[in-house]
Amino acid sequence: MQGIETKKKETSSRHPLSPGYETTSTSKQKGHPLNLIHQFQNVEVVKGINGLDKVVLRQIRGSSAEIYLYGGHVTSWKNDRGEQLLFVSNKATFKPPKAIRGGIPICFPQFSDFGSLEKHGFARNRMWSIDTNPPPFSTNSPNKASIDLILKPSKEDLKIFPHSFEFRLRVTLAPGGELTLTSRIRNANSDRKPFKFTFAYHTYFSVSDISEVRVEGLETLDYLDNMHKKNRFTEQGDALTFESEVDKVYLSSPTEIAFLDHEKKRTILIRKNGLPDAVVWNPWDKKSKAMADFGDYEYKLTLILLSRWYLNYHHNYLWLVLMPGGVTDMWLGCNAAFGLNLFLCQLSLYIFIFGATEDELWGV
């Protein structure tokens, strides 16, 4: 009884994009702020696991995506058949300060443990906020469901990373179910100093069985093998398949990578921009057992494919340097298609590209 009353009170007093808000007939009344911002029509903010706020994006044909404000973390991406395309561990804690295991963690301002910050940086375990007044979309893409999340450093963050920044994460779900994440990072230092950072989308995809998966687009590339002292090798063969632990960093990887799941008869296409490295990681059985928030056999159910800015050439890694007032965009688009015919998928990818150019994404 108490709970119901509280919810009523909160719902009526809150902005439609604030936590706890649900789309009701009342919210659709004329003049309601929700009706004034077209791109918010398919957006809902609800309570997720452990009471954490999450944004739900929906498309009319049935696809959806979920983003936790904790970490600016995409935890769900479903196609119009309702099939989950991302992996989240059954053991994921959804409890700060631990990052959520699975989905798409954002690694910023540091990738891995190369630097003085905590591993993979702090963005994945901070609370992000919703920007209710984001830059507009251009008129020829009115049907995208989209949310802009913002992360700015707290006083505590500035003690360990003394740079003022604004990180805008735009998550977009197109009518065909394509998911796009765009990260716009701005240097807001008032002392006019540049800062440097590394970055990654640490994407955990859901697969039927890792041994049934083939990755295309990385063959013949040079890679650094994290399992062999980061030594440099050249990939041989047609496509990547999996039969043991893998942790490889492909250098200068193409903007398009695909993986095919034979059992699910599904192809996922990944298109990235501003992210030259592609990391393929699967902990396999031994390492899985050592991770408290990862099931012993869940390595079979996920393909972890990171798109990152890091460029580690035998430890002489390059940071991305951002000048004062400067911005940089890095985006990742994923599109799921049925069947294992890459040509057909590329066709749909190109439709996707024309449907979501960078300019269009930012409405410029």
Ligand X SMILES: O=P(O)(O)OC[C@H]1O[C@@H](O)[C@H](O)[C@@H](O)[C@@H]1O
Residue 248 found at the interface with ligand X (CB under 6 A)? no
Applying CB under 6 A, the span of 17-25, 70-78, 112-120, 158-166 interacting with ligand X comes to: 112-120
149 vs 279, beta carbon nearer ligand X:
279
Residue 108 found at the interface with ligand X (CB under 6 A)? no
311 vs 351, beta carbon nearer ligand X:
311
Residue 277 found at the interface with ligand X (CB under 6 A)? no
Q: Which two tokens stand for residue 267?
A: 């192809």
Provide, for the chain, the percentages of residues in helix, strand and coil under a 3-state DSSP scheme, each rounded to the nearest 5: 20, 35, 45
Q: Which residues pair with 246 in a beta bridge?
A: 282
112 vs 183, beta carbon nearer ligand X:
112
Q: Which two tokens stand for residue 40?
A: 């918010």
- Report the C-alpha gap between 178 and 294 in whole angstroms: 27
Is the CB of residue 179 less than 8 Å from the CB of residue 74?
yes
Environment class of 331 (CB within 10 Å of its CB; exposed 0-12, middle 13-18, buried 19+): buried
Q: Cβ 247 to ligand X, closest distance in Å?
A: 5
Q: Which two tokens stand for residue 207?
A: 């697969």
- Report the C-alpha gap between 161 and 163 in whole angstroms: 6
88 vs 337, beta carbon nearer ligand X:
88
Q: Cβ 306 to ligand X, closest distance in Å?
A: 6
Residue 247 found at the interface with ligand X (CB under 6 A)? yes
Residue 205 found at the interface with ligand X (CB under 6 A)? no
64 vs 288, beta carbon nearer ligand X:
288
Residue 281 found at the interface with ligand X (CB under 6 A)? yes
Interactions with ligand X, residue window 302-321 (CB under 6 A): 306
Is the CB of residue 297 less than 8 Å from the CB of residue 89?
no
Q: Cβ 345 to ligand X, closest distance in Å?
A: 26
Q: Cβ 119 to ligand X, closest distance in Å?
A: 5
Q: Cβ 139 to ligand X, closest distance in Å?
A: 39
- Report the C-alpha gap between 34 and 157 in whole angstroms: 33
45 vs 224, beta carbon nearer ligand X:
224
Interactions with ligand X, residue window 128-147 (CB under 6 A): none
Residue 119 found at the interface with ligand X (CB under 6 A)? yes
Q: Residues 58, 120, 163, 168: which binds ligand X (CB under 6 A)?
A: 120
Q: Cβ 112 to ligand X, closest distance in Å?
A: 6
Nearest by Cα to 237 from 217, 266, 213:
217
Q: How many residues make contact with ligand X (CB under 6 A)?
A: 9
Q: Which two tokens stand for residue 225?
A: 């093998």
Q: Which two tokens stand for residue 9?
A: 């009170």
Integer CA distances (angstroms), 39 to 28, 170, 273, in order = 14, 12, 24
Q: Residues 11, 125, 208, 226: which binds ligand X (CB under 6 A)?
A: 226
Interactions with ligand X, residue window 82-101 (CB under 6 A): 99
148 vs 247, beta carbon nearer ligand X:
247
Is the CB of residue 325 less than 8 Å from the CB of residue 250?
no
- Report the C-alpha gap between 307 and 167 in whole angstroms: 17
Nearest by Cα to 259 from 296, 293, 218:
218
Q: Cβ 305 to ligand X, closest distance in Å?
A: 10
- Report the C-alpha gap between 43 and 16 in whole angstroms: 9
207 vs 279, beta carbon nearer ligand X:
279
* Binding residues vs ligand X (CB under 6 A): 99, 112, 119-120, 226, 247, 279, 281, 306
